[in-house]
Amino acid sequence: MKILMINSVCGIGSTGRICTDLAAELEKQGHDVKIAYGRGEVPKQFDKYAIRIGTDLGIKLHGIKARIQDASGFGSKRVTDKFVQWIKYYDPDIIHLHNIHGYYINIESLFNYLKRCNKKIIWTLHDCWSFTGHCAYFDYANCDKWKFQCQKCEQKREYPRSLVLDRSKYNFILKKELFTDIPNMTIVVPSKWLKELVQQSFLKEYPIKVIYNGIDVSVFRPLKSDIYKKYNCGDKKIILGVAGVWDRRKGLNSFVTLSQLLSDEYQIVLIGLSKEQLSDIPTNIIGIERTESVQELSQFYSAADVFVNPTLEDNYPTTNLEAIACGTPVISYRTGGSGESASKYGMVVKKGDINALKAAIIKVSKGEVVKQEIALSREEMIEEYRKVYEDC
């Protein structure tokens, strides 16, 4: 088969790595695979898969259009029209969509083609953007307008940020028109939580399959480390938090409050902080901008007594899986799909309940949880996708 994936990035970030993991395995099985992407650098080993859509300048212009007109997904028309011509030339058997937001592709041009191309379409949703008039997540805002009709968006200034217009009502109507009635399309989601949301949205007409994200368990596994000695943790229990970006939805404020509530028996370690955040966090938190390698990150996971993920809205975070693969239990707020993995090895508490979070840390750090079976490896994820492809 010839398979075309479309994603905002290729080989980097969680969605980019999912694409290249799939591509490498499918190639081993004799399939021809290309990954069309919009932004970022592509690691050299993945150049053979990569097809760039547009340019950096095009992304900036699309981003400006989104900032002024609330039109994320409605720029980049010329480059998308050109890309559609390339798709016709490549003539794939399967078109596998991933993240189509990110200021790089025009959804009108793309989906007008998909509706008439007579190809098998698979769309993996990594967030909620596909069925809202603006936002990628709405848990934090406690909004349910997406079930009926988005308008007067409370999150206009959240990603994809608009500084001027609120076009959420128009966006919702147009997305509904574009994204529905596509022949032979299957939706894949990485969590039961997102499946339940999709079933309440205008995408409910499609078959929906849950395929959990997977990780490289040959890398993320229990490892010996000198973390305690390197950071002078003594005999304290390490409470670890990891994020690519510590924005407000990732729960940085929860860690700041925990640093005031937990005794000196515990040491909070946060990875992924910006330079500004490093200068602002309490002195009793060890802050790290980034690890030197994935192996070092695995050492942090392995050294920790508890991994805490106080995310306020998320899909199915791979950080939870990485911690569990390294033998470390996870505590999460009951939000999004985060609790689905945490409940298998750790604890889940009410979103925003800092006292419950503290109590769970004390309990879990004493070893009072039992590990259950959970799909972790990328091989398991790839096998599930292979079945979807073969059903085409």
Q: Are residues 158 and 259 in the same domain?
A: no
What's the CATH code of the domain at 148? Answer: 3.40.50.2000
Residues 175 and 249 in one domain: no
Distance, CA of 200 to CA of 198 (rounded, Å):
5
Is residue 55, in this structure, part of any structural domain at all?
yes
220 occurs within a structural domain = no
- Whether residues 308 and 209 share a domain: the answer is no
285 shares its domain with 385:
no
Q: Can you read off the two tokens belonging to residue 286? A: 């060890």
Domain count, the chain: 2
Please report whether residue 326 resides in a domain. yes
Q: Examine the domain organization and report whether 57 and 158 are in the same domain.
A: yes
**Residue 222 included in any domain:** no
Could you give the C-alpha distances from 85 to 53, 80, 82, 152, 324, in angstroms and in order? Answer: 12, 9, 5, 37, 44
Residue 197 shares a structural domain with residue 247:
no
Domain assignment present for 291: yes
Alpha-carbon gap, residue 240 to 300, rounded angstroms: 8
- Residue 51, CB half-sphere, CA atoms under 13 Å: how many? 17
Q: Give me the residues of the chain with pLDDT under 50, please.
A: none
Do 329 and 200 share a structural domain?
Answer: no
CA distances from 171 to 73, 132, 153, 294, 389 (A): 9, 8, 11, 39, 31
Would you state the pLDDT for residue 26?
Answer: 92
Q: What span, in angstroms and rounded, lies between the C-alpha atoms of 120 and 392?
A: 6
- Through-space distance between the first and last CA atoms of the chain, rounded to whole angstroms: 10
**Predicted pLDDT at 370:** 86
Look up the domain containing 48 and give its range: 2-214+378-390
Select from 139, 133, 145 the least CA-distant residue to 107.
133
The confidence score (pLDDT) of residue 280 equals 94
Cα 251 from Cα 240, distance rounded (Å)? 13
Statement to judge: residues 184 and 313 lie in one domain: no
In terms of phi and psi (left: phi > 0; alpha: psi -120 to 50; beta: otherwise), the region of 339 is alpha
Residues 166 and 245 in one domain: no
**CA 97 to CA 126: how far, in whole Å?**
10
pLDDT of residue 375: 79
Residue 14 is predicted with a pLDDT of: 86
Same domain, 268 and 317: yes
Helix (H, G, I), strand (E, B) or coil at 377: strand
Q: Is residue 23 situated within a structural domain? A: yes
Inside any domain, residue 131:
yes
Does 243 lie in the same domain as 194? no
For residues 152 and 233, state if they share a domain. Answer: no
- Flag whether 219 is in a domain: no
Contact by Cβ (8 Å): 302, 223: yes
- d(CA 79, CA 214) in angstroms, rounded, equals 32
Query: How many Cα atoms within 13 Å fall on the side-chain side of residue 140?
Result: 20
389's enclosing H/E stretch is helix 378-390
Looking at residue 392, its pLDDT comes to: 66
